[in-house]
Amino acid sequence: MESTAHAFKANVDHALADPNLQDSLAKLKVGFSERRRQAAERLPEFEALRDRARDIKNHTLAHLDFYLEEFERKVIGLGGHVHWAPTAADARRIIAELCQSVNARTVAKSKSMVAEEIALNEHLEALGIAPIETDLGEYIIQLRNEPPSHIIAPAVHLTKDQVADTFLEHHAKLGFDKRLTERNDLVAEARYVLRQKFLDADVGLTGANFLVAETGSSMLVTNEGNADLSNTLPRMHIVLASIEKVIPTLEDAAVLLRVLARSATGQESSAYTTLNTGPKKPGDLDGPDQYHVVLLDNGRSGVLGTEMQDILRCIRCGACMNHCPVYGAVGGHAYGWVYPGPMGAVLTPQLVGVEEASNLPNASTFCGRCESVCPVRIPLPKLMRHWREREFEKHLTPKAVRQGLAMWSFVARRPALYRRLTAMANRMLALFGRADGRYQALPLASGWTRFRDFPAPQPGGTFHARWAKRKA
């Protein structure tokens, strides 16, 4: 999808003024974090599992080439195919050619953030192949022609009423001309409409939560069962996954699964966890004739071995955004691209360029809540700070900020001068109406005083001035 990350500040204004979005976010902030907390408390081994999950991903990344080759060897041995895609364009081309090879008209798609990353739908549509999103949330936003606003809950920004309007608009022509008011009716209508599309689809395309090198399996976690229909009914199954999704063994998967659902939705387990291993076997009564795995790099191999490597541990649970107060204030669309929230603030500059996405790693208070809930313990604030360092080195930091910082650092490095200037600032601030105890407006501080009063300094001089007097 086209990035609007450069327009972050305008996106933020828009988001803060959207009452439907703010209603939805109010629910998200309470719901996800409370459910995750309870799930973690129910499992005494949760913290130990997080440590192990981190170690498994670190081990895999350090031997990524080995495990990818093992995975490939197994898939080929099963009669499947592996396609290597260095770039998004390569992945789009490969998938389109695969679809064309079976004269596909429709593709049943299970939610895949990597497919969003490579803008697959637009590419297929241009070739006359209809991609059908089957995850309910993805289906809703596909009808509305919107990007996802969350990596596991793509329509979390919408209210039930908005969904009802969308369904009425798009389903009336299928005979559903009554506006629904209940959630279960909306779910039932989507189930009915999508069921026929599953049965008609020529190709099923899914992402993968993990690729298991030991067995050549792709592993997928859903609650709806849409991925399973996508990989069972059509005659070709394509798995699109980025290279860091590979893990060594099924035992490693067991660890990661235990932290994934709990971190994501606070569930003990998602409803469906599925291992797909190759095409239909002799005697099987269903399943695809062809099984293809497309391995996407898209810049990830270049992140290995750098100070940003830790982001490749990410298992896309969404806990960081569920707990992020900035995401909670502005929602996912404000971030302007596929991956929002803290993990997006680290990953997006890597994938679309730091010039385009420079606001993202800056729009954080470094409150650290994301890191405190990350199932693979990614130090997200530290990685965002690394981006700020790269921006500073590249002179991308705004000029006013650089100049202010330069002046401040000149003074902060000279304690005697600092002492004189803070004493002076203390006196100057007093001139602006210390009698009220605070200021409604202050020169050069409109960013603060637009929304908040600014407390005045206590009378009597700075601490150091008073301490010096006391000691004299």
Partner 1 sequence: MSDALRNGDGTARAQILGGIRRSLRRGELAGEARKVVETRLAEPPRGPSVARGQLPQAEKVALFCQWAETLNATVARVGPAEVPGEVSAYLARNNLPATVAMAPSPLLEGYDWASQKMLSIRRGRGEGSDQVSVTGAFAGIAETGTVVMASGPDHPVSLNLLPDTHVVVLREGDIVGGYEDVWGRLRARYGKNLMPRTVNTITGPSRTGDIEQAMELGAHGPRRMHILVVRD
Partner 2 sequence: MPSTRPRRVALFVTCLVDLFRPSVGFAAVKLLEEAGCSVEVPPLQTCCGQPAYNTGDRATTRAIAAQVIDAFEGYDAVVAPSGSCGGMLSHHYPGLFDDDPAMKVRAENLAGRSYELISFLVDVLGVRNVAARYPGAVTYHDSCSGLRELGVKAQPRNLLGSVQGLELREMKTPEVCCGFGGTFCVKYPEISNAMVGEKSADIAATGADTLLAGDLGCLMNMAGKLQREGSAVRVRHVAEVLAGMGDLPAIGEPEHG
Which of the residues 325 through 344 are near partner 2 (CB under 8 A)?
A: 325-326, 329-330
* CB closer to partner 2, 37 vs 197: 37
Please count the residues of this chain forming the interface with partner 2, following the rule CB under 8 A. 66
Residue of 142, 206, 217, 426 that binds partner 1 (CB under 8 A): 217
Residue 267 corresponds to which tokens in the numbers above?
């569930």
441 binds partner 2 (CB under 8 A): no
Nearest one of 414, 25, 361, 333 to 151, comparing CA atoms: 333
467 binds partner 2 (CB under 8 A): yes
What are 291's strand-pairing partners? 237
**DSSP calls for 189-210:** HHHHHHHHHHHH-SEEEE--SE
| 287/290 Cα distance (integer angstroms) | 9
What is the β-pairing status of strands 217-222 and 210-212? antiparallel
In the stretch 276-315, what mask flags binding to partner 1 with x, by CB under 8 A?
xxxxxx-xxxxx-------x-x---xxxxxx---------
445 to 464, contacts with partner 2 by CB under 8 A? 445, 447-448, 450-464
174 binds partner 1 (CB under 8 A): no
* CB closer to partner 2, 133 vs 371: 371
Residue 328 corresponds to which tokens in the numbers above?
């909670």
Residue 189 corresponds to which tokens in the numbers above?
């209508």
Binding segment (CB under 8 A) for partner 1, from list 131-139, 412-420, 427-435, 443-451: 131-139
Classify 85 as helix, strand or coil: strand
b/e 279-299 (16+ beta carbons within 10 angstroms → b)? bbeeeeeebbebbbbbbbbbe
**Closest separation in Å from C-beta 21 to partner 2:** 12
Listed in sequence order, the DSSP H helices in 43-107 are 46-62, 64-77, 88-101
408 to 427, contacts with partner 2 by CB under 8 A? 408-409, 411-413, 415, 418, 422, 425-426
The residue type at 201: A
Binding segment (CB under 8 A) for partner 1, from list 210-218, 332-340, 403-411, 461-469: 210-218
Binding segment (CB under 8 A) for partner 1, from list 9-17, 153-161, 429-437, 438-446: 153-161
262 to 301, contacts with partner 2 by CB under 8 A? none
20 to 49, contacts with partner 1 by CB under 8 A? 24, 27-28, 31-32, 43-45, 48-49
Nearest one of 203, 232, 234 to 220, comparing CA atoms: 232
Nearest one of 313, 70, 82, 81 to 214, comparing CA atoms: 70
What is the β-pairing status of strands 236-242 and 290-296? parallel
In the stretch 236-265, what mask flags binding to partner 1 with x, by CB under 8 A?
-------x----xxxxxxxx-xx------x
| Residue 64 main-chain phi, psi, to 5 deg | -60, -40
Footprint on this chain of partner 2 (rule: CB under 8 A)? 9, 12-13, 16, 325-326, 329-330, 362-369, 371-372, 385, 387-393, 397, 401, 405, 408-409, 411-413, 415, 418, 422, 425-426, 434-438, 440, 445, 447-448, 450-464, 466-468
